[in-house]
Amino acid sequence: MSAGARSTTGRPPGRPAVGYVLVLSAAALFIVNAGVSRATIRAGVDPQTLTTIRATGSVPIFALWALLWDRSALHPPRGRMIGWLVVMGVVGVALLQWTYFVAIDRLPIGIALLLEYTAPVLVALWARFVSREPVSARLWPALGLSLVGLAVVARVWSGLAFDGLGVVAGFGAATCFAVYYLVGDHGISDRDPLHVILWAFLVAAVFLNVVWPVTRLDADVATEAASLGGSLEGVSVPGWTLLLWVVVLGSVAPFALTLFAMRHLPPTVVVVVSMVEPVGVTALGWAWFDETLGLVQLAGGAAVVAGIVLAQSARRARATDPVPVT
């Protein structure tokens, strides 16, 4: 689920077909990154350190991108923007990615993504009961589908089927993602996407290096060979290549593809198309880590995805939407 990219137009000019290719390519990179991140954690990099590495390593690349592409993104934020970016960076980047890494380490990765992507349901409920915004009647079937689907996936009739801490982390990721949506809606919707991404990641990197510095990384883990695990157990690569993937192809590249996609598609379409990520990660979990779900659980997962899409459209029409952050 990766933060802060926004668009200020409802329907940017461009070629829709190109936009779909770009956003699906970004989703594919995020999907593969879930597997790579799990392999990295299983190789000995704890979720906290991996979160710090991901944020810290992304900052100089985003800065170089801004230097070459749009130098105005390098200008420090001012006024209320500083406060919004602090919340975005700490909650929408740092805590979101940490809880996400914990969830994919302890749960089937498809379930972890389903939990995180229930964020639009939380946002719609916030809009209805806290912000008192007009909300479509679609909110209620969205909520029902999501709750029933999650109950089926977790097989609540036979007791909780999954690790309790992993489930808490998954819902924590959903909460952080919801905060990310709300900050985007109310604080930075009119800002340049690259500017928001760069400074939100910088805030996250500073925060994370204070509470869990990158120096906690065991140098041996970065240099020794690491197994990819699961069906790729026999394949080993240097640990540093996994870390490089998480930063470059798991963060910067999909963000860039998503930003370019928003030149061709409305942001609401980008977000809905990105819902292929939980589905794709479920397939990846089956192919890579031999994670299987029964037909009933798969039907529950489909109900959750349907509920998420309904919730995404339940609020009044908006010109802006956040880009996925995982």
> Residues 96, 180: contact at Cβ < 8 Å?
yes
6 pLDDT band, cuts 50/70/90, is: very low
pLDDT in tens, 63-83: 999 999 889 999 999 988 899
Q: Report the distance separating Cα 91 and Cα 163, nearest Å.
A: 23
User: Does residue 7 register a pLDDT over 70?
Assistant: no
Read off the pLDDT of each residue in 119-137 and give the average, rounded to a whole number: 84
Q: Report the distance separating Cα 116 and Cα 193, nearest Å.
A: 22
> Residues 208, 19: contact at Cβ < 8 Å?
no
Read off the pLDDT of each residue in 217-223 and give the average, rounded to a whole number: 91
pLDDT in tens, 154-198: 766 555 567 889 999 999 999 999 888 888 766 565 678 888 889
Beta bridge partners of 237: 226
User: Does residue 140 register a pLDDT over 60?
Assistant: yes
Q: What is the pLDDT of residue 8?
A: 40
Share the mean pLDDT of the chain. 86
Is the torsion defined by CA of 231, 233, 237, 241 positive or negative?
A: positive
Q: Strands 236-238, 225-227: parallel, antiparallel or unpaired by DSSP?
A: antiparallel
Read off the pLDDT of each residue in 25-42 and give the average, rounded to a whole number: 96
CB atoms within 10 A of CB 68: 8
pLDDT in tens, 262-320: 788 877 777 778 888 888 998 999 999 998 878 888 888 888 888 888 887 776 545 45
Q: What is the CA radius of gyration of the chain?
A: 19
For 277, the enclosing helix (H) or strand (E) is helix 276-289
45 pLDDT band, cuts 50/70/90, is: very high
Q: Inter-axis angle of helices 96-106 and 109-116, to 10 degrees?
A: 150
Read off the pLDDT of each residue in 5-34 and give the average, rounded to a whole number: 78
pLDDT in tens, 145-155: 888 888 888 76
11-20, 27-36, 220-229, 298-307: least confident range: 11-20
Convert 122-174 into a string of H (helix), E (strand) and C (coil): HHHHHHHHCCCCCECCCHHHHHHHHHHHHHHHHCHHHCCCCCHHHHHHHHHHH
| pTM reported for the whole predicted model | 0.87
Higher pLDDT, 309 or 21: 21
Higher pLDDT, 163 or 242: 242
> Residues 24, 184: contact at Cβ < 8 Å?
no
Q: Report the distance separating Cα 234 and Cα 119, nearest Å.
A: 37
Cα dihedral angle (79, 85, 91, 95), rounded to 10 degrees? -140
Q: What is the pLDDT of residue 155?
A: 67
Q: Report the distance separating Cα 153 and Cα 132, nearest Å.
A: 32
Q: Report H helices in 217-266.
A: 219-223, 239-244, 253-261
Q: What is the pLDDT of residue 3?
A: 42
Q: Report the distance separating Cα 279 and Cα 282, nearest Å.
A: 5
Higher pLDDT, 46 or 309: 46
Q: What is the pLDDT of residue 316?
A: 55
**Residue among 188, 115, 187 at smallest CA distance from 147:** 115
**Residue among 26, 54, 264 at smallest CA distance from 62:** 54
**Residue among 57, 27, 9 at smallest CA distance from 325:** 27
For 103, the enclosing helix (H) or strand (E) is helix 96-106
